[in-house]
Amino acid sequence: MRETTLALAHARTATATAVVPREPAAPTAAWRDSLPVLRGRRLTLRELRVEDGDALLPLITAPEVVRFMSPTPEAANWFETFISTTARERKAGRYAGFAIVPHGHDQPVGLVQLRQLDPGFSTAEWGIALGSAWWGKGLFEDAGRLLLAFAFETLGVHRLEARVATGNARGKAAVGKLGATAEGLLRRALRTADGELDQVLWSWLDDEWRREQARRVAEELVWVH
């Protein structure tokens, strides 16, 4: 999923509500066997399952969502193939894909994914697809903070990239709110059903992210006291 922002396993838990940054440590490989369950203020991220297709497909293939995405395959069983591929890539240490499940709900309403751009996950790219009924409800920010923490703390990512179509104002605002830096224009980098679109390349760096988390924690402690 090349387009990054669309207003589109179970042994460990984590939270992004008050992430306390740690000094960089060697990444753990346990996630290759089973992705952790990540819990935020508004949602849970858990590993994608084949049975998620019934709930996810109508949401992530809706016209308003695929407007800024590469076309999905036409094969009837493409989601099953996608899930089997994600499991294989996760075991190889190259990919992590999560379903977005709002608190109080059983079915996912979107998905987020991380894929390595170089061996060892030093550089990675993320993607997100969220059903339009859930836009503007804080799920993107909550999922984004969980994914950033997982990327930098668990995978050991140094640089995380995101691509956002130039016409996707909601997406650009969302990644900017999460602290990403816009680096440059990627001309006609995204092919959609309606043609080719320019994208903006955004990035986060691990040391910058840690400093920002330390600042946020310090502000929260001031309010507590």
Is residue 70 domain-resident? yes
Structural domain contains residue 193: no
pLDDT tens digit sequence for 4-60: 544 333 333 334 444 444 555 556 679 999 999 999 999 999 999 999 999 999 998
45-104 pLDDT, tens digit per residue, is 999 999 999 999 999 889 999 888 887 776 668 899 999 999 999 999 999 999 999 999
In a domain, 215, yes or no: no
Residue 180 lies in a domain: no
Is residue 102 situated within a structural domain? yes
Predicted TM-score of the model (pTM): 0.84
Question: What pLDDT is attached to residue 223?
Answer: 57
With CA atoms as reference, report the closest residue to 149 among 35, 26, 15.
Answer: 15
Note down the domain range covering 102.
Answer: 26-161
> Is residue 44 a part of any domain in this protein?
yes
Is residue 132 predicted with pLDDT exceeding 70?
yes
Residue 86 belongs to a domain: yes
> Could you give the number of structural domains in the chain?
1
Half-sphere exposure of 194 (CA within 13 A, CB side): 9
* CATH code: domain of residue 31: 3.40.630.30
151 contacts: CB under 8 Å, gap ≥ 6: 114, 124, 126, 157, 160
Residue 115 covered by a domain: yes
**Nearest residue to 45 (alpha-carbon basis) of 199, 166, 150:** 150
